[in-house]
Amino acid sequence: MKTFDDFQRLVESLRGIFQVEHFIYHSVNSAGEPYAALTYAPEWVDYYLERDFGRIDPVVLGCFQRFHPVDWKCLDWTGRAAREFLKEAIDAGVGNQGFSIPIRGPNGQFALFTVNDTCRDGAWKRFTETHVRDLILIAHYLNQKALEIERGTDKIASQKLSPRELDALTLLGMGQSRAKAAENLSISEHTLRVYIESARFKLGAANTTHAVALAMARGKIIL
């Protein structure tokens, strides 16, 4: 994947794979310019930018203060401006359900990944509970690819991971708990934590899930 068009096609294909209304990745590049790949109607995107809705959008404002994924229903929509914005968004084809993942990248970078759909609360709850791990990995993968495209290279300098660090990330990436991963590696959970923290540092990852996503994106582990 070398260009923004490639990136946009990937986002569109992921929407089809997960069978949701919208997939959205949004960031600000090193020049301070918005960088986005999404499946919203172009008319809504233009209107959103024209009205500068980012100033009042509870998703943007709420996620900027968070480090963990959040369902839109957990955000503050009580203000009049927020309620009116939501009504306009839904009228423009934005789904009534949303799940967003804030991403902290290098040098203070902030990005936001969102899945969006029109369905009942129960169906959305089942969807997010089933796919939350995959969505977190995808969010960090997309962010890494966006940064690579901006730099114009797929080559990312990083320190070599040790065999034990690779084993630890692989087992966690397969969905094993830390206790189970430590048992399989015949080490203590404390020692496992040391390997994970070392791998995070070498990869420049914000958290363990980010480390797994980066290791996968760079071909260091295959799940």
Does position 2 have pLDDT exceeding 50, yes or no? yes
Residue 220 has pLDDT above 90, yes or no: no
Which residue from 146, 167, 159 is spatially nearest to 27, judged by alpha carbons? 146
Q: Enter the tokens of residue 37.
A: 């790949």
SS3 content of the chain, % helix, strand, coil (to 5): 55, 15, 30
Task: Report percent pLDDT > 70 for the chain.
Answer: 91
CA-based nearest residue to 27, from 13, 11, 14: 11
Q: What is the pLDDT of residue 157?
A: 54
Instruction: Give the chain's domains with CATH numbers.
Output: 4-151 (3.30.450.80), 163-217 (1.10.10.10)
Tens-digit pLDDT profile for residues 196-205: 988 887 887 7
Residue 70's H or E segment, with its range, is strand 70-71
CA 97/CA 94 separation, integer angstroms: 9
What integer best gives the mean pLDDT of the chain?
A: 88
- Helix, strand, or coil (residue 68): coil
